[in-house]
Structure 1
Amino acid sequence: MIKKPLFLLALMGILISSCTVSKSARTQQNLFSGTWNLDDVYYENASGNFKSVIFNDAEDICFEDSEWFFRDNNSTGRYTIGQSSLCQGGDRFFRWSVVEPSENYQSQLQFKFIDENRKDISGGYGYRLNIVNLTEQNMTLKSNVTADGQPVTIVYKFSKK
């Protein structure tokens, strides 16, 4: 009779420990928490003018001055794009986490789109951005893409509200 509760307790301990994140990932998640303004979106490693659709959502210009909110206690968030003649305004909801660095990449922010009820609407597909700089007041994220067969880096510069 006592074996079953001990087995369940051990199983719960294993499950809980497997779901924990490292101290560095937890620190980064805590720094993300709150409201950020996306001040600038620009391109590195490329010359000329670019016009791109970011996150299969809106043109790059629509993301400038968008508001991003990260809630670290349940790993949900949203970004809000202002309405304009070029941009379909409104809230976009997502589930997010920090991916720890490996030998192939630095720490990354990953997210996928969800609806207001926290249900996946992206079919499991998501996005990863390299965390280049993350402090209590500023954040720089980068994503590597290809344009005309050439590598281009999109840079996202945020400030904390």
Structure 2
Amino acid sequence: MLLPVTLVLAAACGLINLWLGLRLVRGRMQGVMLGDGGKPEMLAGMRAHANFAEYAPFVLILTGLIELARGPSLWLWVLTVVFVIARIAHPIGIMRPAPNPLRATGAVGTWIVTAILAGWALTIAYQANSATAPSGPAIEMAPPQG
């Protein structure tokens, strides 16, 4: 079964991950081969890249499982678009002086999407468990033989 929402999200995440890595190349070419070299812009770029790597897998997994269970839906598309926009806004904002609305919007958008997807997944699991639960007792008791 094709998972169009998950496939598009995975492609977008792949491109964002590549973009975040490429943003660090300039610093690497200037001699910072490992770590941040004491440069705040390298540290910010590394944190933006790591932060993406911390959240994207959970959103991808939740999206894929929800799509497998329920099929593609407009709401799943909307959530993935919000996630992609948030994950682009966050690293742009993290490179700017704090407080920064892009960074905050990216972080909060990511949290909201993750929370909604997690709640949706739990709801699907609960509904599936309720639908398959036996209606009567699991073990029938035989009357004592006497």
TM-score interval, smaller chain: under 0.3
TM-score after normalising by structure 1:
0.23
Higher RCO, 1 or 2 (CA under 8 Å, sep at least 6)? 2
Question: Which of 1 and 2 has greater Rg?
Answer: 2
The structure with the largest strand share of the pair is 1
Q: Which has the higher helix share?
A: 2
